[in-house]
Amino acid sequence: MRKVAIVGAGMTKFVRRALETPKELSYEAAKITLDSCGLTLEDVECIAHGTAPDAFDGLHQNGEYMVDGCGGWNKPTMRVYVGGGTGIHAVVHGWHHVASGLFDTCLVVCEEKMSSALPHAQAFFLTIFDSITERPLEPNLLWIFALEMNRYMERYGYTKEDMALVAVKNKLNGLKHPASQFTEEVTVEDVVNSEMMAYPVSRLDVSPVSDGAAALLLVSERVARRLTDKPVWIEGVGWSLDTAYWATRDLYYPRYTDTAARMAYEMAGIREPDKEIHIAEPYDPFGYKALHHMEGLQLSPRGKTVQLLHDGHFDIDGNLPMCPSGGLLGVGNPIAAAGTMKVCELFWQLRGEADGRQVPGNPRLGVAQSWGDLMQVSSVVVTGI
């Protein structure tokens, strides 16, 4: 397999409701990504794009609709879709296109517009549950997160205040991100006292509903050397899908993340991820999920993660900065675009271009991870310079 570099990144602002259509959002992110590395659509050989449920848009086969905004006109174009995992899975997908030797350039574009669905995009998640053994119970998506969060907290004696600290820290980081949809700091008290949605999940434990898009340009080594003296290499990729019988696996540990991370680390030649990795962007649609994923990513010992969080280990100036972008809690969560945003963040951080939220000490190795479907998929990308 050939080496693959990221040479450009761009995104739209994440907002609660965007004027732009999904196609227009895709165009904005794709175009600014090309501009960032001085290329035009003519230089792009193929497209890997992603958007999560068609039901959000009410447009069946939304990937085909999006294609023009992604620059896919008359090009080899493929959509991947693994729910919340899509944003990084699409990067893995793009990596295949270039690593295989089939293409030298691949534009990765992920978009989500959640605001079109009324009254709330969450209603469509009812339809991911098993149609016969679960849906008659009228589940909602918050149920499974609340069930997982409760199990995780119980297992290690973590508290709601502990989990709230993730939202506090991520939202603080996000204030420095130019694409963030937030403008205010929150405190642990704010999070704990925010409206109870589904115990133990309160409103501020949850990332917002967002519209937005993010993109990356992936190229072969030969092209990368011509374009830039600061390529960011994709050192490893991994992905895994666990069983859809989600109630039959113990929810306290994300086995799917463990499997995906080990695959990516093996490819990257990483033996001690907690010591070797400088920046982590775990998927954080809920505060607890960032910590849960840090354990699955082998970046924190099981059951010790809250202590490390309190000790500042995961702060921007800590030993292993977590979600320096602000993550989904701090920037926003347009589902598929949110994952891609995390890889954009690694790109900017490793190049020293992250402005006010730059991780100090010239970080050289980062990992980003996304998660989705019925709490069963993880996609992982390791990047380095």
Binders of another protein in range 63-92 (CB under 8 A): none
Stretch that binds another protein, among 123-131, 271-279, 291-299, 301-309 (CB under 8 A): 123-131
Decide if residue 183 touches another protein (CB under 8 A).
no
Contacting residue, 3, 75, 230, 302, with another protein by CB under 8 A = 230
Span 204-223, contacts to another protein by CB under 8 A: 211-213
Contacting residue, 40, 100, 159, 243, with another protein by CB under 8 A = 243
**Would you put residue 303 in left (φ > 0), alpha (ψ -120 to 50) or beta?**
left
Contacting residue, 2, 58, 275, 310, with another protein by CB under 8 A = 58
- By CB under 8 A, the count of residues binding another protein is 74
Q: How many whole angstroms separate alpha carbon 210 and alpha carbon 201?
A: 19
> 359 is written with which tokens?
């991780």
Which residue lies nearer to another protein by CB, 96 or 352?
A: 352
Q: Give whole-number Cα distances, 129 to 71, 141, 221, 379, in Å.
A: 34, 9, 43, 21
Shortest CB 269 distance to another protein, Å? 28
Pairing of strands 211-220, 201-202: unpaired
Stretch that binds another protein, among 27-35, 74-82, 182-190, 307-315 (CB under 8 A): 27-35
Decide if residue 143 touches another protein (CB under 8 A).
yes
* Amino acid occupying residue 40: T
Decide if residue 245 touches another protein (CB under 8 A).
yes
What residues does 378 pair with on adjacent strands? 240, 371
Stretch that binds another protein, among 71-79, 88-96, 249-257, 295-303 (CB under 8 A): 249-257
Q: How many whole angstroms separate alpha carbon 358 and alpha carbon 248?
A: 41
Contacting residue, 188, 197, 263, 267, with another protein by CB under 8 A = 197
Pairing of strands 77-80, 105-113: unpaired
Which residue lies nearer to another protein by CB, 115 or 319?
A: 115
Decide if residue 131 touches another protein (CB under 8 A).
yes
Stretch that binds another protein, among 24-32, 163-171, 254-262, 276-284 (CB under 8 A): 24-32
The answer to whether the beta carbons of residues 119 and 133 sit under 8 Å apart is no
Stretch that binds another protein, among 82-90, 184-192, 258-266, 351-359 (CB under 8 A): 351-359
> 293 is written with which tokens?
């994923």
Decide if residue 249 touches another protein (CB under 8 A).
yes
Contacting residue, 32, 78, 186, 263, with another protein by CB under 8 A = 32
> 251 is written with which tokens?
């929810």
Decide if residue 54 touches another protein (CB under 8 A).
no
Which residue do the tokens 């963030």 mark? 180
Decide if residue 196 touches another protein (CB under 8 A).
yes
Decide if residue 51 touches another protein (CB under 8 A).
no
> 231 is written with which tokens?
């390529």
Contacting residue, 6, 23, 33, 296, with another protein by CB under 8 A = 33
Which residue do the tokens 């295989």 mark? 100
Stretch that binds another protein, among 217-225, 243-251, 266-274, 309-317 (CB under 8 A): 243-251
Decide if residue 21 touches another protein (CB under 8 A).
no
Residue 334 DSSP SS3: coil
Pairing of strands 4-11, 77-80: unpaired
Q: How many whole angstroms separate alpha carbon 247 and alpha carbon 244?
A: 9
Span 282-341, contacts to another protein by CB under 8 A: none
Residue 20: count other Cβ atoms within 10 Å of its Cβ. Answer: 18
Which of 197, 174, 177 has the alpha carbon at shortest distance from 186?
174
Q: How many whole angstroms separate alpha carbon 27 and alpha carbon 70?
A: 6
Decide if residue 148 touches another protein (CB under 8 A).
yes
